[in-house]
Structure 1
Amino acid sequence: MNLISISIITPSYNSSLLISNTIKSVLAQTVTDWEMIIVDDCSSDNSVDVIQSFVDQDPRIKLIQLAENSGAAVARNTAIEAAKGRYIAFLDSDDTWLPNKLEKQVAFMQENNYPFTYAAYDKVNESDEVFGNVGVPSKVAYSDLLKSCSIGCLTAIYDTEYFGKVYMPLIRKRQDLGLWLKLLKKTKYAYGLNETLGLYKVRSDSISANKKSAALFTWRLYREVEQINLLKSIYYFSHYAVRGLLRTKYPGVARALGILK
């Protein structure tokens, strides 16, 4: 595979116990032509010292420190603004990639001329034990994502030669979904590689663990960011709620319906 240019976007906040493994998973990539831009959001632990130790060893790893705590959207957008790569990839400070993640997914994009892709991933607990796999559909459109977000942030990559730089909406949660929706207004589909390429850590204290809050921010995304009218918002939110309930409480039914892979 020819060398490629990839910018990896990583927000960090009080991630000192986990971000080493995240960075090591990037260093282990079979593709080497990348930069990793880590934006620290005013951590109160020693995250900056941990990150700096890697920066000192490898010039491809870059650290930006925000002047005040601003949230993941601002941190990610700061990294996107600084990015120099053709491809923008996302990896949060508690997640990791398999070594062939970038090579396989960018080849998938280049061979098929796909500007926006995602992939399957495993879910791991706080002891790094795999307890589930999240498969993905072969493609999704804008309306599909409004019903259920099947794009894991740690797997998403978009091509700036096609889109230019596209940024996340400035909301505290669901900003990744907001970005995917922006991209899907500029192209018909995002395409899925149904091969496990990353490990998503499920933490009891993570933002995504608060399902009620995530639901509220999904509603706000419909109404305030996407400016979808009330009736359509209710329609999409009902799909979102039912699918979420089936995935959580009735996985067998969800698999039978194709909601859970």
Structure 2
Amino acid sequence: MFISVVMPAYKAEHTIAHSVQSALDQVHNNFELVISIDDQVDYPKLLADSGINDPRLVFTDTGAVGTGSSNARNVGLNKATGRYIAVLDADDQFAPTKLGRVATALEQYPLVTTGLDVMDDVGQHLRYVGCGGNNRLLAAADYKFTNISMDSMVAHDRERVPVQYDIDLPCLVDLGLMLDAFCYVEGSFHLAQPLHRYYKQRQSISIGPEASQRYVRIKRLLLERLQSSHYPLFGGETAIQGLISFLEHSLAAEKLFDAQCQMNPSLIFEDHLESRLKVLLGDQDSAQY
């Protein structure tokens, strides 16, 4: 199976070489890596200077600076030649067997997700997300209670799930894609192993200044969309109510997160949210093991 991996690149000079190398080191080597440049940096030269020069690398450009991750990804999608799409951010990495495991799952399922190994910006392990239990089909209603954050580990068959990224979302763009995808399929097939390494960068959209306020605003927007039937989900009302429930729990956790960080500066939002979900829903319904 041929897979197109899409990588948006913005201010990625210090991380992209490691991210690209993690793709080139895949056991499954039948792929292209489409790098969508959104900052006018000469990434072909930067990578070549790092000793990376591979015919599987394809470069495209948004033609501007900072048009946003959604637009950069869409430009990459439009350049990609494969039916099957995976995403790799320019500061994250694939585990060596990720594409192989995903390719096998895509033969049967049009939407595939994997567990995450979440690390800080120096590569120290923080936690796993979505790595509990067996590989399984996650209905849309249950999806976020397993993958409680960071939805960038997705792969899809774009003939059966013809989605692009929502340019109106400044963050949570991967969750926005998943909501659109759930309009075509009942859920995702989830590989419950840490096949995707997600790095929390100090100044990234997910952990930089005022990140909590951005997240609250977009979570409220997604909640309003779900409540107004903006997303005609394949799973109907059950799917809608499950996703609404998660966003409501997540927004409630956001209200207390800053105060909790004052007492525990090393706290990350995923740990804070999970602890609340365990209390509210019981251990069997929380995501992280």
Counterpart for residue 220 of structure 2: 219
* Change in 2 beyond 3 A, CA 1:180/1:224: same
Counterpart for residue 153 of structure 2: 155
Q: Deviations over 1:65-85 (max 9, x none)?
A: 222231000000011111111
Whole-angstrom CA distance in 1 between matches of 2:75 and 2:273: 39
Paired letter, 2:200: V
* Change in 2 beyond 3 A, CA 1:237/1:252: closer
Shift of 1:125: 1.1
Contact residue 14 and residue 47 of structure 1 kept, 8 A: no
Counterpart for residue 250 of structure 2: 240
Shift of 1:51: 4.1
Shift of 1:251: 4.5
Counterpart for residue 60 of structure 1: 56
Deviates more, 1:138-147 or 1:180-189: 138-147
Whole-angstrom CA distance in 1 between matches of 2:130 and 2:146: 13
Shift of 1:32: 1.1
Counterpart for residue 29 of structure 1: 26
Counterpart for residue 73 of structure 1: 70
Contact residue 7 and residue 85 of structure 1 kept, 8 A: yes
State the aligned residue count: 252
Counterpart for residue 237 of structure 2: none
Paired letter, 1:167: Q
3-state SS in 2 of match to 1:9 = strand
Paired letter, 1:213: R
Contact residue 122 and residue 130 of structure 1 kept, 8 A: yes
1:258 aligns with 2:270: no
3-state SS in 1 of match to 2:191 = strand
Whole-angstrom CA distance in 2 between matches of 1:131 and 1:6: 29
Shift of 1:54: 7.6
Gaps of 5+ in 2: 231-240, 258-268
Q: Deviations over 1:211-260 (max 9, x none)?
A: 2211211222333588448xx89766422324666843374564525323
Counterpart for residue 187 of structure 2: 189
Whole-angstrom CA distance in 1 between matches of 2:253 and 2:109: 27
**Pairing partner for 1:123 from 106, 118, 125:** 118
Counterpart for residue 266 of structure 2: none
